[in-house]
């Protein structure tokens, strides 16, 4: 898949860590949607964000609302969350589906909140996510 892009929204820097690991795998810079709010054309777009109190990061949802099937070939949703039961980006998935953007995959790993899963995502999590991202891309 050509033209890989990685964007993230973060409150705790966990999503930045994951986005940077994915970006490094593809040789691209991961971009914070707060600093780069306008989507660029991408063959494969990795959207990285956390779940906070069971909800997707509003900044990532706002970014996704600006996407279209003509600017994004396929999307991959990447999530970190301290909760095992709330790692699905339901709101983000719904936006992408409404816009007819193909979802190539969804990756999730443990995040941390206070002392719960302290230190996560860790180096192993980042390596696992980067490898899974590469596998999804077919590169």
Q: Where are the domains of the chain?
A: 4-127
pLDDT at 112: 45
Question: 15, 26, 40: which is closest to 138 by C-alpha?
Answer: 26
pLDDT at 111: 53
3-state secondary structure of 67: coil
pLDDT at 103: 95
Q: Which two tokens stand for residue 45?
A: 């777009």
pLDDT at 86: 46
pLDDT at 2: 66
Radius of gyration, CA atoms only, the chain = 14
Tens digit of each residue's pLDDT, the chain (139 residues): 469 999 999 887 888 989 999 999 999 999 999 999 999 999 999 999 887 777 788 999 999 999 999 999 999 999 875 445 444 578 899 999 999 999 999 887 755 444 445 555 678 877 888 898 998 887 6
Distance CA 113, CA 82 (A): 6
Residue 135 has phi, psi (to 5 degrees) of -60, -45
Question: 11, 15, 126, 6: which is closest to 76 by C-alpha?
Answer: 6
Class of domain 4-127: alpha beta
* Number of neighbouring beta carbons within 10 Å of residue 36: 14
pLDDT at 106: 87
Four-residue CA torsion sign, 79, 81, 87, 88: negative
pLDDT at 124: 84
pLDDT at 107: 84
Distance CA 72, CA 51 (A): 23
């Amino acid at each position: 898949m050509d033209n890989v892009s990685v964007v993230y929204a973060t409150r705790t820097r966990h999503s930045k860590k994951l986005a940077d690991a994915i970006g490094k795998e593809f040789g691209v810079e991961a971009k914070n949607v707060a600093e780069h709010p306008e989507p660029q054309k991408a063959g494969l777009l990795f959207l990285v964000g956390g779940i906070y109190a069971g909800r997707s990061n509003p900044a990532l949802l706002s970014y996704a609302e600006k996407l279209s099937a003509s600017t994004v070939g396929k999307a991959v949703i990447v999530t970190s969350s301290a909760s095992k039961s709330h790692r699905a980006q339901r709101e983000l998935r719904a936006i992408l589906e409404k816009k007819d953007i193909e979802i190539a995959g969804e990756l999730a790993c443990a995040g941390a909140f206070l002392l719960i899963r302290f230190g996560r995502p860790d180096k192993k999590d980042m390596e696992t996510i980067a490898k899974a991202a590469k596998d999804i891309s077919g590169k």
